[in-house]
Amino acid sequence: MAGSPRVGVLALQGDVREHAALLEVLGADVTLVRRPEELALVDGLVIPGGESTVIDKLARLFGLQQPIRDAIADGMPVLGTCAGLILLADEVVDAIDGQQSFGGLDAVVRRNAFGRQAESFEAELTVPAFDEPVTAAFIRGPVVEAVGPRASVLATLPDGRVVGVEQDGLLGLSFHPEITNETRFHRRFLDRVSRR
Ligand code: GLN
Protein backbone atom coordinates (compact mmCIF):
# COMPACT_ATOMS: atom_id res chain seq x y z
CA MET A 1 0.00 0.00 0.00
CA ALA A 2 1.45 3.38 -1.02
CA GLY A 3 1.29 6.55 1.12
CA SER A 4 -0.08 7.02 4.62
CA PRO A 5 -2.22 4.24 6.05
CA ARG A 6 -5.88 5.30 6.10
CA VAL A 7 -7.28 4.40 9.49
CA GLY A 8 -10.40 5.23 11.43
CA VAL A 9 -11.13 5.89 15.08
CA LEU A 10 -14.60 4.78 16.13
CA ALA A 11 -15.91 8.13 17.37
CA LEU A 12 -19.14 7.33 19.19
CA GLN A 13 -17.88 7.82 22.77
CA GLY A 14 -14.61 7.61 24.71
CA ASP A 15 -11.08 8.93 24.29
CA VAL A 16 -11.27 9.41 20.54
CA ARG A 17 -9.04 12.50 20.33
CA GLU A 18 -6.07 10.91 22.10
CA HIS A 19 -6.01 8.03 19.61
CA ALA A 20 -6.50 10.30 16.60
CA ALA A 21 -3.67 12.59 17.73
CA LEU A 22 -1.27 9.71 18.30
CA LEU A 23 -2.09 8.08 14.96
CA GLU A 24 -1.49 11.41 13.20
CA VAL A 25 1.89 11.80 14.90
CA LEU A 26 2.73 8.33 13.56
CA GLY A 27 1.89 9.47 10.03
CA ALA A 28 -1.55 7.96 9.53
CA ASP A 29 -4.40 9.56 7.61
CA VAL A 30 -7.16 9.53 10.27
CA THR A 31 -10.94 9.51 9.75
CA LEU A 32 -13.38 9.73 12.66
CA VAL A 33 -15.92 6.96 12.08
CA ARG A 34 -19.56 7.56 13.05
CA ARG A 35 -21.31 6.21 9.97
CA PRO A 36 -20.93 3.17 7.69
CA GLU A 37 -19.81 5.48 4.84
CA GLU A 38 -16.85 6.58 6.95
CA LEU A 39 -15.95 3.02 7.87
CA ALA A 40 -15.84 2.19 4.16
CA LEU A 41 -13.04 4.76 3.69
CA VAL A 42 -10.55 3.15 6.09
CA ASP A 43 -8.20 0.15 6.05
CA GLY A 44 -8.01 -0.24 9.83
CA LEU A 45 -9.98 0.84 12.89
CA VAL A 46 -9.19 1.85 16.47
CA ILE A 47 -11.92 1.25 19.04
CA PRO A 48 -11.09 3.57 21.95
CA GLY A 49 -11.55 3.24 25.67
CA GLY A 50 -14.69 4.65 27.21
CA GLU A 51 -17.78 2.69 28.15
CA SER A 52 -18.35 -0.49 26.18
CA THR A 53 -22.08 -0.56 26.94
CA VAL A 54 -22.53 2.93 25.47
CA ILE A 55 -20.32 2.32 22.42
CA ASP A 56 -22.25 -0.91 21.76
CA LYS A 57 -25.63 0.84 21.95
CA LEU A 58 -24.56 3.74 19.76
CA ALA A 59 -22.95 1.43 17.20
CA ARG A 60 -26.24 -0.43 16.84
CA LEU A 61 -28.22 2.83 16.71
CA PHE A 62 -25.96 4.24 13.98
CA GLY A 63 -26.08 1.08 11.90
CA LEU A 64 -22.39 0.37 12.47
CA GLN A 65 -22.51 -2.98 14.24
CA GLN A 66 -22.96 -5.18 11.19
CA PRO A 67 -20.54 -3.22 8.96
CA ILE A 68 -17.87 -3.46 11.69
CA ARG A 69 -18.52 -7.20 12.12
CA ASP A 70 -18.26 -7.65 8.35
CA ALA A 71 -15.02 -5.67 8.17
CA ILE A 72 -13.51 -7.75 10.99
CA ALA A 73 -14.57 -10.97 9.24
CA ASP A 74 -12.95 -9.59 6.09
CA GLY A 75 -9.63 -9.20 7.93
CA MET A 76 -9.55 -5.46 8.64
CA PRO A 77 -6.96 -4.76 11.37
CA VAL A 78 -8.48 -3.39 14.58
CA LEU A 79 -6.81 -2.04 17.72
CA GLY A 80 -9.17 -2.07 20.70
CA THR A 81 -8.14 -0.51 24.01
CA CYS A 82 -10.03 -1.13 27.25
CA ALA A 83 -13.71 -0.76 26.25
CA GLY A 84 -12.42 -1.47 22.74
CA LEU A 85 -11.00 -4.81 23.90
CA ILE A 86 -14.39 -5.69 25.42
CA LEU A 87 -16.05 -4.88 22.10
CA LEU A 88 -13.60 -7.11 20.21
CA ALA A 89 -14.01 -10.13 22.48
CA ASP A 90 -16.08 -13.10 21.39
CA GLU A 91 -17.30 -13.50 24.98
CA VAL A 92 -17.81 -10.83 27.66
CA VAL A 93 -18.16 -11.66 31.35
CA ASP A 94 -19.99 -9.18 33.63
CA ALA A 95 -21.68 -7.52 30.70
CA ILE A 96 -24.90 -5.62 31.37
CA ASP A 97 -28.18 -7.16 30.21
CA GLY A 98 -28.38 -7.18 26.45
CA GLN A 99 -24.81 -5.95 25.93
CA GLN A 100 -23.27 -7.14 22.68
CA SER A 101 -19.76 -7.09 21.31
CA PHE A 102 -18.57 -6.95 17.71
CA GLY A 103 -16.52 -10.06 18.42
CA GLY A 104 -13.83 -11.60 16.26
CA LEU A 105 -11.18 -11.98 18.95
CA ASP A 106 -11.11 -15.54 20.30
CA ALA A 107 -10.99 -14.54 23.96
CA VAL A 108 -13.11 -14.23 27.09
CA VAL A 109 -12.87 -10.75 28.64
CA ARG A 110 -14.19 -9.69 32.04
CA ARG A 111 -15.35 -6.08 32.42
CA ASN A 112 -14.23 -3.96 35.39
CA ALA A 113 -11.99 -6.77 36.55
CA PHE A 114 -9.78 -4.84 38.93
CA GLY A 115 -12.36 -3.91 41.56
CA ARG A 116 -12.80 -0.69 43.43
CA GLN A 117 -9.46 -0.28 45.17
CA ALA A 118 -7.53 -0.63 41.97
CA GLU A 119 -9.91 0.92 39.47
CA SER A 120 -7.07 3.03 38.14
CA PHE A 121 -3.40 2.15 38.43
CA GLU A 122 -0.16 1.92 36.51
CA ALA A 123 1.79 -1.28 36.10
CA GLU A 124 4.86 -2.54 34.32
CA LEU A 125 3.94 -5.21 31.80
CA THR A 126 5.75 -8.06 30.15
CA VAL A 127 5.40 -7.77 26.39
CA PRO A 128 7.73 -10.30 24.72
CA ALA A 129 7.10 -8.70 21.30
CA PHE A 130 8.93 -5.51 22.43
CA ASP A 131 12.52 -5.07 23.59
CA GLU A 132 11.78 -2.58 26.35
CA PRO A 133 9.19 -2.94 29.13
CA VAL A 134 5.81 -1.24 28.91
CA THR A 135 4.39 0.97 31.64
CA ALA A 136 0.64 0.83 31.24
CA ALA A 137 -2.27 2.88 32.63
CA PHE A 138 -5.40 0.98 33.65
CA ILE A 139 -8.73 2.80 34.11
CA ARG A 140 -11.54 0.46 35.20
CA GLY A 141 -10.04 -1.95 32.74
CA PRO A 142 -11.04 -5.45 31.76
CA VAL A 143 -8.90 -8.58 32.08
CA VAL A 144 -8.56 -11.41 29.59
CA GLU A 145 -9.78 -14.51 31.39
CA ALA A 146 -9.24 -17.00 28.59
CA VAL A 147 -7.36 -16.91 25.31
CA GLY A 148 -8.76 -19.25 22.67
CA PRO A 149 -6.68 -21.27 20.20
CA ARG A 150 -6.90 -18.65 17.43
CA ALA A 151 -5.52 -15.85 19.63
CA SER A 152 -2.23 -15.37 21.44
CA VAL A 153 -1.06 -13.50 24.52
CA LEU A 154 0.57 -10.13 23.84
CA ALA A 155 0.93 -8.63 27.34
CA THR A 156 0.79 -9.81 30.93
CA LEU A 157 0.83 -8.23 34.38
CA PRO A 158 3.60 -9.27 36.81
CA ASP A 159 1.14 -11.74 38.40
CA GLY A 160 0.58 -13.40 35.05
CA ARG A 161 -2.89 -12.06 34.27
CA VAL A 162 -3.36 -11.44 30.58
CA VAL A 163 -3.98 -7.81 29.55
CA GLY A 164 -3.15 -7.89 25.85
CA VAL A 165 -4.11 -10.34 23.11
CA GLU A 166 -3.66 -10.50 19.37
CA GLN A 167 -5.06 -12.55 16.56
CA ASP A 168 -3.91 -11.78 13.03
CA GLY A 169 -4.75 -8.08 12.59
CA LEU A 170 -6.73 -7.78 15.82
CA LEU A 171 -4.99 -6.27 18.86
CA GLY A 172 -6.84 -5.98 22.15
CA LEU A 173 -5.42 -4.19 25.21
CA SER A 174 -6.88 -3.80 28.72
CA PHE A 175 -4.99 -0.53 29.21
CA HIS A 176 -4.53 2.88 27.59
CA PRO A 177 -1.29 3.33 25.62
CA GLU A 178 -2.69 6.54 24.12
CA ILE A 179 -2.43 8.40 27.43
CA THR A 180 1.14 7.43 28.40
CA ASN A 181 2.95 8.30 25.14
CA GLU A 182 3.31 4.59 24.49
CA THR A 183 3.43 4.37 20.68
CA ARG A 184 4.50 0.78 20.08
CA PHE A 185 1.03 -0.79 20.01
CA HIS A 186 -0.25 1.81 17.58
CA ARG A 187 2.84 1.26 15.41
CA ARG A 188 2.16 -2.46 15.46
CA PHE A 189 -1.44 -1.79 14.40
CA LEU A 190 -0.33 0.55 11.56
CA ASP A 191 2.16 -2.09 10.46
CA ARG A 192 -0.70 -4.62 10.20
CA VAL A 193 -2.72 -2.09 8.17
CA SER A 194 0.18 -1.39 5.80
CA ARG A 195 0.84 -5.09 5.22
CA ARG A 196 -2.70 -5.95 4.23
N1 GLN B 1 -15.29 -0.18 32.34
C2 GLN B 1 -15.42 0.22 30.96
C3 GLN B 1 -16.36 -0.67 30.17
O4 GLN B 1 -16.87 -1.61 30.67
C5 GLN B 1 -14.08 0.28 30.27
C6 GLN B 1 -13.20 1.35 30.87
C7 GLN B 1 -12.31 2.04 29.88
O8 GLN B 1 -12.44 1.88 28.66
N9 GLN B 1 -11.43 2.87 30.39
O10 GLN B 1 -16.56 -0.41 29.02
Read off the pLDDT of residues 6-64 as tens digits, 9 standing for 90 and up: 999 999 999 999 999 999 999 999 999 999 999 999 999 999 999 999 999 999 999 99
Cα-to-centroid distance, 82 and ligand 1 (Å) = 6
* Residue 50 marked ligand-binding: yes
How many C-beta neighbours within 10 Å does residue 37 have?
Answer: 9
* Residue 122 marked ligand-binding: no
Q: What is the pLDDT of residues 102-161, one digit of tens each?
A: 999 999 999 999 977 668 999 999 999 999 999 999 999 999 999 999 999 999 999 999
Best mutation site among 9, 51, 100, 121 for ligand 1 pocket (most ligand atoms within 8 Å of CB): 51
**High-pLDDT (> 70) share of the chain, %:** 98
Catalytic annotation, pick one of 18, 91, 132, 178: 178
The whole-angstrom separation of Cα 125 and Cα 159 is: 10
Whole-number pLDDT of residue 117: 63
Is 140 touching ligand 1 by the criterion CB < 6 Å? yes
Cα-to-centroid distance, 139 and ligand 1 (Å) = 7
Q: H or E segment at 25? A: helix 16-25
Strand partners of residue 147: 107
Which pTM value belongs to this model?
0.97
* Residue count of the chain: 196
Is 51 touching ligand 1 by the criterion CB < 6 Å? yes
Catalytic annotation, pick one of 91, 119, 145, 176: 176
The string over 61-71, giving b where at least 16 C-beta atoms fall within 10 Å of a residue's C-beta and e elsewhere, is: eeebbebbbeb
Whole-number pLDDT of residue 119: 81
Q: Which atom of ligand 1 is nearest to the CA of 82?
A: 8
Residue 3 has pLDDT above 90, yes or no: no
> What average pLDDT does the segment 77-94 reach?
98
Identify whether 178 is a catalytic site residue.
yes
Report long-range pairs for 119-125 (Cβ below 8 Å, ≥24 apart): 122/180, 123/157, 123/158, 124/158, 125/155, 125/156, 125/157, 125/163, 125/164, 125/175
